[in-house]
Amino acid sequence: MPEGFAHGFYVTSEEAEFVYKCTDYYNPNAEISIQWNDEELSIDWPLANTELSLSEKDRNAISFIEFKNAKHD
């Protein structure tokens, strides 16, 4: 996926491992998390009978509108 492109992962197994290539060293200050269930994104998540397990980063994510209105470097 292109640099700066929003992306996410939906894991349906007990555990998962994924690896992706970055363009530079990991910089957590450059990360932005958008709410996975933001209404403006209109993603139809298949969540029937699913117990969600979100990271702290995902629990504290901003809305898509907040993302669009924020300054990005």
5-44 pLDDT per residue, tens: 888 888 888 888 888 778 888 888 888 899 999 999 999 8
Q: Is 42 exposed, middle or buried (0-12, 13-18, 19+ CB in 10 A)?
A: exposed
Say if residues 37 and 7 touch (Cβ distance below 8 Å).
no
Strand partners, 62: 34
Query: Residue 73 pLDDT > 70, yes or no?
Result: no
